[in-house]
A and B are shown apart, each in its own frame.
Chain A
Amino acid sequence: KAGVTQTPRYLIKTRGQQVTLSCSPISGHRSVSWYQQTPGQGLQFLFEYFSETQRNKGNFPGRFSGRQFSNSRSEMNVSTLELGDSALYLCASSPRGLSTEAFFGQGTRLTVV
């Protein structure tokens, strides 16, 4: 069974630009959640999607948004990039939601210059 796939693995963007990250969950998993990992703040929850609906949202500004498609693939978008958005962005999929175990992708390393 294929694992969680995140693309691209690395990105370099300029301040003010926008970026879209993609996550393909494990087949059959309906929940996809996103996390930001930085040395200063650690791992922080961004949002969770379940069957194309945003079910939970973390404490991030509206520049961070996401969506989920009917095949459970998810995208995360960050608009008007700031230097502080440089981070490892991790996606996780779960069969039924966050009370069950989450399976993580290897992440997308975003660098904003």
Chain B
Amino acid sequence: AQSVTQLDSHVSVSEGTPVLLRCNYSSSYSPSLFWYVQHPNKGLQLLLKYTSAATLVKGINGFEAEFKKSETSFHLTKPSAHMSDAAEYFCVVSPGGGADGLTFGKGTHLIIQP
């Protein structure tokens, strides 16, 4: 079985300051991990993915995430927030053993203050 916990339901930062969205996971297998973003009334867009290669993963729009196996974490960061980053962010774990589907965290709503 696998699970994902996003530690903050809402995060508010000022434009130009760093962003940190926290995610912890559990999985019986070596997981693939993803971050997706969902803007209002839109589908989900892939930001980045970890699939057992480099532990520091770079994604689109300046986002990156670090896979830490010892802490079972996959936190998403961005050095400088932009107003367009305001959206819902989902941490997702994919099965390594072929069973179950994608498991989503509850989401973190990112608010950018001007």
Contact = CB atoms under 8 A, between A and B. Distances in A.
Interface string A74-113: 0000000000000000101000001111111111000000
Q: Chain B: interface secondary structure?
A: loop
Interface string B47-74: 0010100000000000000000000000
B102 A33 contact: yes
Given A90-B43, A104-B43, A107-B43, A99 B95 contact: yes
A56 B43 contact: no
Interface string B63-102: 0000000000000000000000000001000111011111
B24 interface: no
Contact of A102 (B51, B102, B106): B102
A45 interface: yes
Nearest to A4: B43
Interface of B: 32, 34, 36, 41-46, 49, 51, 90, 94-96, 98-107
